[in-house]
Amino acid sequence: MIHNISLPPGEFAGCFIDDFFCNTLDTKGHAFFDEIAGLKVSAHLLIDRAGDITQYVPFNRKAWHAGESCFKGRKNCNDYSIGVELEGTDNDRFTDAQYSTLIDITRLIAREYPCITPERIVGHSDIAPGRKTDPGPCFDWQRFKSKLSFDH
């Protein structure tokens, strides 16, 4: 599942995403952080604007990225999905480096998890419509999926 995140919203390249996913965010660091204080959120991976990866949760462990969710009639997507966060917003284009890394890491994940097919790779907005909008209209699904070829 593909997401986007920036902390504070619209700002990139700080330590706040790491702090948020590690439950060490200083809520006094920015006025927005009061809104997310107390949330326990994690993702398997973050791909920053430079295309660098940070892994927070092993792929075989549950991460808390989906929230209330449903995929093809099956609820609680956190129980069976891999969450990849792209540093960005709904309204900013993602970088070439992010697409390159996302394509590479998706291929590697799919080799280890053959049930993952291009059709099963969705955005947060697909499993929580009306509640979530990410990765947003600036995410180029055609660009991303056209480069996926899995060797299952």
Q: Which of 67, 71, 14, 75 is nearest to 39 (CA)?
A: 67
Catalytic residue (choose from 85, 87, 112, 119): 85
In this prediction the pTM is 0.96
Q: Which amino acid is at 104?
A: D
pLDDT digit string, tens, across residues 108-138 = 999 999 999 999 999 999 999 999 999 999 9
In a domain, 18, yes or no: yes
In angstroms, rounded to a whole number, what is the distance separating the alpha carbons of residues 67 and 40?
A: 10
Name the average pLDDT for the chain: 96
Domain span at residue 38 reads 2-146
Question: What is the domain-level CATH number for residue 9?
Answer: 3.40.80.10
In a domain, 151, yes or no: no
In a domain, 100, yes or no: yes
Residue 56 sits at the vertex; the CA angle it makes with 50 and 141, to the nearest 5 degrees, is: 50
In a domain, 24, yes or no: yes
Give catalytic status of residue 85 as yes or no: yes
In a domain, 133, yes or no: yes
Summarize the confidence of residues 62-85 as an average pLDDT: 97
Q: Is the pLDDT at 56 greater than 80, yes or no?
A: yes
In a domain, 152, yes or no: no
Q: Is the pLDDT at 152 greater than 60, yes or no?
A: no
Tally of CB atoms within 10 A around 138:
13
- How many domains does the structure of the chain reveal? 1
